[in-house]
Structure 1
Amino acid sequence: MDELLPGVFADMLRPQYWLSRCRDGRAYQVDACNDGIAQSGTLYALTETAEFPVVTPLRPADVRFDEQGRAITDRDWDLMEDVSRVRTCSPTPGFAVESTDLRRFAVATPAFQSPTDKEFDELQDTTLHTFEPLVVVGESQDANWLYVYTTTYRGFVAKQAVAVTTWENFKQLRSSPSFVVVTKPFTLTQPQPYDAKVSRRWLEFAAVLPLFESGENLGRQHVLGNICVFLPVRERDGELTMRPAYVPRADVHVGWLPFTRQSCVSMAFTLLHERYGWGGRLGVHDCSSFTRDVHRTMGVELPRDAGVQERALLWRIAFPEGISGRDKGRQLEQLQPGDLLYMPGHTMIYLGSIQGRPYVIHDFAGYVVEGTEIPINQVMVSTLDIHTKSGATYLEKLSSAGAVMVQ
């Protein structure tokens, strides 16, 4: 068989290859897991009594470049800082009405590290899901951006991507007992000639939407093969309305998936070969949003960034400096598929070891062979003995291994 990557063969790109080696078929308790993560203090509470301070962003110390490859001048940064001065308001709850970027400054201008880079925008922090809850605490000087808090981040979101509501309605919608989670990437709602606001709307992987359970057909289309959900819509006054729409039944799951290793690995492989997108750019994932969204389909609220996820693990093996890669590999053998691995700035989902060689599925930029960078830039299976730019292997760079699936 031909290798796809070092040590990786075609059979390894099927979730069942790894799940057949999994010794743990238990379903874990989501609420207990989320309680443990919350106790780590890594998530923001979106409540009426919480405090939401505005934090002034800092410009990078070194030269950065825009999408045309031009150096961003001090004057450019001055303008970005001016427009990003927040005019505060009373905390107002709402939801993202579509998948949208959350930015460090109130601008769409990217800040790349080199004139030729088109990927690693330093001002892109994350993306929000359709119907992701948030709290608006102010707006930019040009009134085009809102400064918001989500459970994992704070920053600027385009105003047109947000709809606000009352605290009472916010609480009711967040606690809706009947909902679906999108389990396929790039899902579209059905065309709807009677309501353009919900027609052919793009729904991203791991978006969560309330169920619409009227039992009536929608827009003169039978429900067969579909499921009816509520979609968030921003009205002209910025207020939230929820409108019914059909989503293909095969693309969603009613309620959370079982919190099992089988669900975790299967959902990870659903995103196999999806292109890498720093901070969620391009409508796709980076390494930590990949692990976060895989767990989100099971109802687990992981933090957004790799380092914060690592600190929030319910069980963790920390690898001290100086420990060899071989010793780390031995310790990994106590893990199960679906556990998590971390190195500085990167996270991976563990799949198992084959003849003592550990394997992961992760969203990664690439690896190095004899000084030559091999770009991957997608979700892919790999061994941990591939090399990083520093010359060390991924295994040697591991800082910890752990799990949120604990009893």
Structure 2
Amino acid sequence: MFSHPRPLTALAAALLALSLGGCTPKMLRDTAAETPLPPLAGVEDLQRFPQTIDPYLIRLQERNATLPVQQGYESTYYKVWDDAYTPEALEEVKWPFDVYRPENAYGQNLQPLSQAWFYAMLREANWQAYGSTAGRAVALRRLDLRNFPTEKPLFRDPSVAGEGFPFDYLQNSTVFAGEPLYISHYSRSGAWAYVMTSYATGWVPVDRIAPVGRAEREVLRAQPLLGLLEDRMPIHSLRGRYMFEGYVGMVLPLQQKSAAQWRVDPAGHAGTAEIRREAAAPLPLTFTRENMRRVIAPMMQTKYGWGGLYGERDCSSTLRDIFAPFGLWLPRNSYKQSRLGKVISFEGLDDAAKLAKIAAEGRPFETLLYLKGHILLYLGVYDGEPAVLHTVWGVKTVDDEGNFGRHIIGKTVISSLRLGHELEGYSDEYSLLHKVESMNFVFEEEEE
């Protein structure tokens, strides 16, 4: 449910927060990656549809060779290190200061933010220096990309269903440790750097990034990329020093391989590291059932994280991380992901016709289903109905007087497009099925 930094898209993200959300029991503890999470009480789909990926994999059409769209991941991943890279225009990145204002802004204590606070943020942002640095760097750990140079949140009215926690509108996205960065400029205090990645931009603390010179960049870019296949995996140097945490979807330059280990040399970390052979694989993986199981199984433990907050995922980052080990680069926001490959519109179709079209033409594990502000992965027909994987905050409900509420789910689930249909206050008008607009095939080139 996350959107890319643009004024209109930011407003769409706000509208999305009003359409998917809620308030029901949450998981009390984590479980092992191989263990299915218990279903949430009162959500029929999460009991009817197995919450492990294995039962659905039989529907995946395996390919024993890589496709053209699985090549070239490196060029996009490293593009901010290109000599010819040009950052976006100032008006393209400064939009949060135009969109977020004190008229409807609340801080971490759920009290209104003052105009003085906004003035202080604008001063710290130091926009007159935009583009003055043109430095290259890497992230030293997983980083939040912030819309203002602060770790403090900005919420909309928390009394409105679908607003307040966890929708911190200053959270733009996240980057993994070792990701290439372009530094535009520094904040007035020098504590923050404004950076670009291959898919998003934002403010990061300067003590969590490291500069990378031209010679080191050339060495790193010449190495193949290794994709990680475990979540929250501690990465240590050869001397046993903790370096950072690894996640599915994260890639690192592969320096050397042995029978039991992969050796990586993440720039800026002052040392090489070794990763267990079964916990990673060189890009791109072939599109097989076993490889898809290796990628998705650990991700079924993901709790919902707006814009990647708290080391978790939202809907679009879940899909990015699923396809990264297969060498398929996805944009960050759900709308742009929905334009990838061949697109089939559902315009003019009623709900029954949409279900029939998805079942008849959808390709399991390579078809994305899009509705405004949300995106899902089609898994095939299960128990007579299309099954989808998605990371979702909750189900919108409405009472007899027209008041909206939320039934919180807050994690990655497998469901139908009628998720929550048995809940009190559920309305077909606000269902995933009714709002879904299109499907697209990510491995098929877009038709001219």
Asked if structure 2 preserves the Cα contact closer than 8 Å seen for 1:261 and 1:337, the reply is no
**Residue 107 of structure 1: aligned partner:** 150
- TM-superposed CA distance for 1:229, in Å, is 1.9
Whether 1:383 aligns to 2:424 is no
CA–CA distance in structure 1, aligned partners of residues 333 and 51 of structure 2: 26
- TM-superposed CA distance for 1:279, in Å, is 0.5
- TM-superposed CA distance for 1:232, in Å, is 3.2
Asked if structure 2 preserves the Cα contact closer than 8 Å seen for 1:33 and 1:404, the reply is no
Structure 1 residue aligned with 2:324, among 296, 301, 320? Answer: 296
Structure (1 or 2) with the greater helix fraction:
2
> What is the TM-score of this pair, normalised by structure 1?
0.84
Superposition pairs of residues 198-217 of structure 1, within 5 angstroms: 199=242, 201-213=244-256
Whether 1:85 aligns to 2:126 is yes
> What is the TM-score of this pair, normalised by structure 2?
0.77
State which drifts further: 105-114 or 361-370: 361-370
CA–CA distance in structure 2, aligned partners of residues 101 and 391 of structure 1: 35
Paired residue type of 1:97: L
Paired residue type of 1:227: W
Whether 1:118 aligns to 2:145 is no
**Residue 219 of structure 2: aligned partner:** 172
Asked if structure 1 preserves the Cα contact closer than 8 Å seen for 2:138 and 2:179, the reply is yes
Q: Which segments of structure 1 move beyond 6 Å, counting only runs of 4 or more?
A: none
Asked if structure 2 preserves the Cα contact closer than 8 Å seen for 1:48 and 1:167, the reply is no
Deviations 1:189-232 (A, max 9, x none): 2476x464xx26322222212233387xxxxxxxx854332233
**Residue 162 of structure 1: aligned partner:** 209
Deviations 1:156-189 (A, max 9, x none): 1211121122234324313412x42111100012
**Residue 286 of structure 1: aligned partner:** 314
- TM-superposed CA distance for 1:255, in Å, is 3.6
1:98 is paired with a residue whose SS is: coil
Superposition pairs of residues 4-403 of structure 1, within 5 angstroms: 5-9=43-47, 12-22=50-60, 24-27=61-64, 29-32=66-69, 46-52=81-87, 53-54=89-90, 55-59=93-97, 60-61=100-101, 62-86=103-127, 87=129, 88-115=131-158, 117-177=164-224, 179-190=225-236, 194=239, 196=241, 199=242, 201-213=244-256, 226-233=261-268, 241=270, 243-260=271-288, 263-264=291-292, 266-311=294-339, 313-320=340-347, 322-333=348-359, 334-338=361-365, 339-368=367-396, 371=399, 373-386=406-419, 391-403=429-441
Asked if structure 1 preserves the Cα contact closer than 8 Å seen for 2:155 and 2:168, the reply is yes
- Aligned pair count reads 381
State which drifts further: 368-377 or 137-146: 368-377
- TM-superposed CA distance for 1:50, in Å, is 2.4
User: Do the aligned partners of residues 261 and 314 (structure 1) sit closer, same or farther apart at CA in structure 2, a change above 3 Å counting?
Assistant: farther
User: Do the aligned partners of residues 9 and 266 (structure 1) sit closer, same or farther apart at CA in structure 2, a change above 3 Å counting?
Assistant: farther
Identity rate, percent: 23
Query: More relative contact order in 1 or in 2 (CA 8 Å, sep 6+)?
Result: 2
CA–CA distance in structure 2, aligned partners of residues 390 and 110 of structure 1: 33
Paired residue type of 1:330: A
- TM-superposed CA distance for 1:267, in Å, is 2.1
CA–CA distance in structure 1, aligned partners of residues 198 and 335 of structure 2: 16
User: Do the aligned partners of residues 21 and 58 (structure 1) sit closer, same or farther apart at CA in structure 2, a change above 3 Å counting?
Assistant: closer
Asked if structure 2 preserves the Cα contact closer than 8 Å seen for 1:227 and 1:249, the reply is yes
CA–CA distance in structure 2, aligned partners of residues 114 and 159 of structure 1: 31
Deviations 1:106-139 (A, max 9, x none): 1112101235733111011000011111211211
- TM-superposed CA distance for 1:287, in Å, is 0.5
CA–CA distance in structure 2, aligned partners of residues 389 and 147 of structure 1: 43
Asked if structure 2 preserves the Cα contact closer than 8 Å seen for 1:6 and 1:383, the reply is no
Asked if structure 2 preserves the Cα contact closer than 8 Å seen for 1:367 and 1:389, the reply is no
CA–CA distance in structure 1, aligned partners of residues 226 and 338 of structure 2: 28
- TM-superposed CA distance for 1:30, in Å, is 4.9
Asked if structure 2 preserves the Cα contact closer than 8 Å seen for 1:46 and 1:151, the reply is no
CA–CA distance in structure 2, aligned partners of residues 269 and 370 of structure 1: 34
Asked if structure 2 preserves the Cα contact closer than 8 Å seen for 1:85 and 1:140, the reply is yes
- TM-superposed CA distance for 1:151, in Å, is 0.8
State which drifts further: 93-102 or 284-293: 93-102
User: Do the aligned partners of residues 347 and 302 (structure 1) sit closer, same or farther apart at CA in structure 2, a change above 3 Å counting?
Assistant: same
CA–CA distance in structure 2, aligned partners of residues 404 and 205 of structure 1: 19
Asked if structure 2 preserves the Cα contact closer than 8 Å seen for 1:8 and 1:382, the reply is yes
Gaps of 5+ in 2: 1-37, 400-404, 421-425
Deviations 1:246-293 (A, max 9, x none): 323332224432245664465233211311100000011111000011
Asked if structure 2 preserves the Cα contact closer than 8 Å seen for 1:285 and 1:363, the reply is yes
Asked if structure 2 preserves the Cα contact closer than 8 Å seen for 1:97 and 1:233, the reply is yes
Deviations 1:337-396 (A, max 9, x none): 111111000011111123542110110011146646321100011110125788422111
